[in-house]
Amino acid sequence: MPELSPRLPCPVCLGVTMGRVAVGPGGVLRVDHCGRCGGAWLEHGEVQRLRAMPAAELWKRLEKREHRFRMRCHDCHGSLDRADAKCPACGWSNTLECPACARPMRTESHAGLRLDVCGACRGVWFDHHELRAIWEAGFDGALQGRALRLAGSPGELRSGPGEVLLDTLFHAPDLAFHGVRAAAHAASHVPDLVAVAPEVATGLFEVVGEAAVSVFEVIASIIGGIFEGF
């Protein structure tokens, strides 16, 4: 059965379409991977599914690269490291557009890594060195640490960068999503506040209006004084 879903553009390289790499036993997970820069796009939920697999499964299908890829600045086209926050030549802010929804992604920096997270579709972009740093070194350890913590053995916990990333980055979009939901839920249960809102708004408008009149009169009187001087 051929792959019918559209292939996404690489947000780093621009002009290159990512390939879909089947990862895991039977190719259960399809990861969007750029053959040029080596980065990978993981859609919402794919990070968790990839977490459930041993690190070796990922590297069976992806080629490890020793040299760190240098991207081209999207503005001045100069050579740029992905870890740079801004282009040293033109000052372009090194933020990518989401390959799925084309919205600007936000960057999350932890333990020397700089991941790009889409707040809208909740996908995460991993540069190749970030993939290696997380899935090669600390990821299995982080998983073991989490398992031990759940089993009630805090003395055996490991608190490496992988653990920190798991706890903060991977769940950050979910937390934000649930936070917004909770706020909306709380707002729906305070009808009293909504009822007094027009009164508060009217009072505030009057106060602002009076302040504006005072400021304008002071300025007009100052200018009037200048005119009188002539």
Partner 1 sequence: MGKPLAAAGLAALGLFMLLGFLGSGAALAAPATLAALALTVGLPAVGAALLVRSHHAERARLVGRRAQLRSQTMDAEILRLAGERGGRLTAVEVATELAVTPEAAKDALDALCVRGHAEIEVSDAGLLVYGFYDVRHLGGKSSARGVLDA
**Taking CB under 8 A as the criterion, which residues in 200-229 touch partner 1?**
208-217, 219-221, 223-224, 226-227
Cα angle for residues 111, 105, 6 (degrees, 5° grid)? 115
Measured CA to CA, the distance from residue 49 to residue 147 in angstroms comes to 16
Counting contacts by CB under 8 A, is residue 13 touching partner 1? yes
Q: Where are the beta strands (DSSP E) in 45-102?
A: 70-72, 79-81
Shortest Cβ 97–partner 1 spacing (Å)? 8
**Nearest CB to partner 1, comparing residues 198 and 230:** 230
**Taking CB under 8 A as the criterion, which residues in 40-99 touch partner 1?**
72, 74-77, 92
Q: What is the largest CA-CA distance in the chain?
A: 89
- The tokens for 85 are 């926050």
Counting contacts by CB under 8 A, is residue 174 touching partner 1? no
Q: Is the dihedral of CA 71, 101, 128, 171 positive or negative?
A: positive
Selected range binding partner 1 among 10-18, 81-89, 109-117, 129-137, rule: CB under 8 A = 10-18
Residue ranges that bind partner 1, judged by CB under 8 A: 7, 13-17, 36, 72, 74-77, 92, 208-217, 219-221, 223-224, 226-227
